[in-house]
């Protein structure tokens, strides 16, 4: 909407804004990009003994909101040991914006995929 208003002001007349799906995400932001590594260890009885969750999340330099994707590991499963590390990398990006699920969703997805394997 703001893009349309700015374009109309420059053109001096009403304009129609039509964006591709990719352009829309570049313009309004989206979920934070993450790179994650999950490793699980279990005993012969199938009980989880170790959970490793390491990862990086990108963040615009001007953003104050870090996406805590690694927060759910300790609360989802009981394990003998946890190794959870999350780093944030400041980049020149469009700010991430609100999505349908909280910030933990990408991390939960990674852990559940590892559990399924």
Q: How far apart are the first and last CA of the chain?
A: 44
What is the spatial distance between Cα 73 and Cα 51, in angstroms, rounded to a whole number?
Answer: 8
Task: Please tell me whether residues 58 and 82 are part of one structural domain.
Answer: yes
Distance (Å) of CA 38 to CA 68, 78, 85: 15, 15, 11
Closest CA to 105 of 77, 72, 58, 65: 72
Contact 106, 73 (CB under 8 A): no
Per-residue pLDDT of the chain (117 residues; tens, 9 = 90+): 678 899 999 999 999 988 888 777 666 667 788 999 999 999 999 999 999 999 999 888 887 777 888 888 888 999 999 999 999 998 887 777 766 677 788 899 999 999 998
Task: Please tell me whether residues 55 and 66 are part of one structural domain.
Answer: yes
Q: How many structural domains does the chain have?
A: 2
The predicted model scores a pTM of 0.73
Task: Please tell me whether residues 61 and 91 are part of one structural domain.
Answer: yes
Segments forming the whole domain that contains residue 8: 1-30
Task: Please tell me whether residues 37 and 69 are part of one structural domain.
Answer: yes
Distance of CA 77 to the CA centre of its chain: 21
Task: Please tell me whether residues 69 and 24 are part of one structural domain.
Answer: no
Task: Give pLDDT, residue 104.
Answer: 83
Task: Give pLDDT, residue 33.
Answer: 85
Distance (Å) of CA 28 to CA 5, 23, 69, 103: 15, 9, 21, 17
Contact 50, 115 (CB under 8 A): no
Task: Please tell me whether residues 56 and 97 are part of one structural domain.
Answer: yes
Contact 92, 60 (CB under 8 A): yes
Task: Please tell me whether residues 40 and 25 are part of one structural domain.
Answer: no
Task: Please tell me whether residues 65 and 89 are part of one structural domain.
Answer: yes
């Amino acid at each position: 909407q703001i893009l349309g208003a700015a374009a109309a002001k420059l053109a001096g007349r009403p304009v129609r804004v039509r964006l591709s799906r990719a352009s829309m995400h570049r313009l309004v932001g989206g979920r934070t990009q993450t790179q994650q590594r999950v490793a699980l260890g279990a005993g012969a009885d199938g009980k989880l003994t170790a959970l490793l969750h390491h990862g990086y999340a990108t963040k615009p330099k001007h953003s104050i909101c870090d996406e805590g994707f690694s927060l759910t590991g300790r609360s989802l499963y009981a394990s003998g040991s946890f190794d959870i590390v999350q780093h944030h990398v400041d980049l020149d990006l469009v700010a991430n914006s609100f999505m349908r699920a909280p910030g933990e969703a990408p991390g939960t997805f990674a852990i559940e995929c590892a559990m399924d394997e």
